[in-house]
C-alpha cells in the first residue's frame, strides 16, 4: 500500500487551509514533501508551515523538493522524532491547522499537542482493521495507535471529530477531521 499522500488528498489539504484562512500549519510526517508543498501553496504570504520528519535523508529530499517548488521561505523542515521535536517548539506554539501522517502508534501523543484549530489525521480506517474486533492491538500496532487516538478524542469535551472514508489508489482508508478548542460543544 502506498504511503505517500495522493493528489486528491493534497488538493483537499490545500482547500482546507485556504477555506480556513490558516496561517500557521503543522505537519507531522514529511516524507518527500508533497503534502508540505500542497499545504504551503495555500498559505498567505506571511504564513508558515512547520513539518517534522524523523529520517534525515528523507528530510533532505523534502527540503530539495520544497526549494524546487519555491516555498523554502514558508516551510521549515525539522528533523527528529516528533515526540521529541514537538515539545521543543516551546509552550507558546499554536497552529491553526495540523496534518498528522506519521507513525500511527503515537497518533494520540501528537494530537494532544493541538491546542486549537483543525486537525486531520491520515490512515485511521486502515482497510477496516481499526474497527475489526478480531484484530488485536498486540497484532497490529498501527491499529492500536489509531484506536488509542479515537478513544482520546472521544473523551475530550472541547473536540468534535468525524472520520471520512477514502477509496482510491491507496485502497480503502480514511482520515479523521477534528476541530480542537471548542467551547460548549454539542455532540451529535
pLDDT digits (tens, 9 = 90+) for 25-66: 999 999 999 999 999 999 999 999 999 999 999 999 999 999
Name the one residue in this structure whose C-alpha cell is 491499529: 143
How many whole angstroms separate alpha carbon 83 and alpha carbon 150?
18
Note the pLDDT of residue 164.
86
> Average model confidence (pLDDT) for the chain?
86
Note the pLDDT of residue 147.
82
Three-state secondary structure call for residue 156: coil
Q: Regarding predicted confidence, which is higher, 172 or 46? A: 46
Distance of CA 23 to the CA centre of its chain: 16
Query: Looking at beta carbons, which pairs linking 4-7 to residues 24 or more positions away fall under 8 Å?
Result: 4/31, 4/32, 4/34, 5/31, 5/34, 5/35, 5/38, 5/101, 5/122, 6/168, 6/169, 6/170
Note the pLDDT of residue 111.
93
What does the DSSP 8-state code read for residue 73?
A: T
Does residue 85 have a pLDDT over 90? Answer: yes
Does residue 171 have a pLDDT over 60? Answer: yes
Note the pLDDT of residue 138.
54
Question: Which percentage of the chain shows pLDDT scores above 90?
Answer: 57
Q: Regarding predicted confidence, which is higher, 56 or 91? A: 56
Question: pLDDT-derived band of residue 182, with 50, 70 and 90 as boundaries?
Answer: confident
Domain extent listing, the chain: 7-180
Q: Regarding predicted confidence, which is higher, 175 or 30? A: 30
What is the CATH number that goes with domain 7-180? 3.40.50.150
Q: Regarding predicted confidence, which is higher, 151 or 27? A: 27
How many whole angstroms separate alpha carbon 34 and alpha carbon 5?
7
Amino acid at each position: 500500500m502506498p504511503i505517500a499522500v495522493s493528489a486528491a488528498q493534497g488538493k483537499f489539504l490545500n482547500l482546507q487551509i485556504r477555506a480556513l484562512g490558516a496561517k500557521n500549519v503543522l505537519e507531522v510526517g514529511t516524507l518527500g514533501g508533497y503534502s508540505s508543498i500542497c499545504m504551503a501553496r495555500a498559505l498567505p504570504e506571511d504564513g508558515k508551515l512547520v513539518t517534522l520528519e524523523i529520517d534525515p535523508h528523507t528530510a533532505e529530499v523534502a527540503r530539495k523538493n520544497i526549494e524546487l517548488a519555491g516555498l523554502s521561505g514558508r516551510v521549515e523542515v525539522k528533523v527528529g522524532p516528533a515526540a521529541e521535536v514537538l515539545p521543543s517548539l516551546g509552550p507558546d506554539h499554536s497552529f491553526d491547522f495540523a496534518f498528522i501522517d506519521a507513525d500511527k502508534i503515537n497518533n494520540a501523543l501528537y494530537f494532544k499537542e493541538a491546542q486549537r484549530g483543525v486537525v486531520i489525521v491520515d490512515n485511521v480506517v486502515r482497510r477496516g482493521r481499526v474497527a475489526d474486533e478480531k484484530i488485536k492491538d498486540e497484532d497490529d500496532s498501527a491499529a492500536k495507535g489509531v484506536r488509542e487516538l479515537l478513544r482520546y478524542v472521544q473523551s475530550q469535551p472541547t473536540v468534535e471529530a468525524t472520520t471520512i472514508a477514502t477509496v482510491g489508489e491507496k485502497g480503502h482508508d480514511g482520515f479523521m477531521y477534528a476541530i480542537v478548542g471548542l467551547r460548549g460543544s454539542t455532540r451529535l
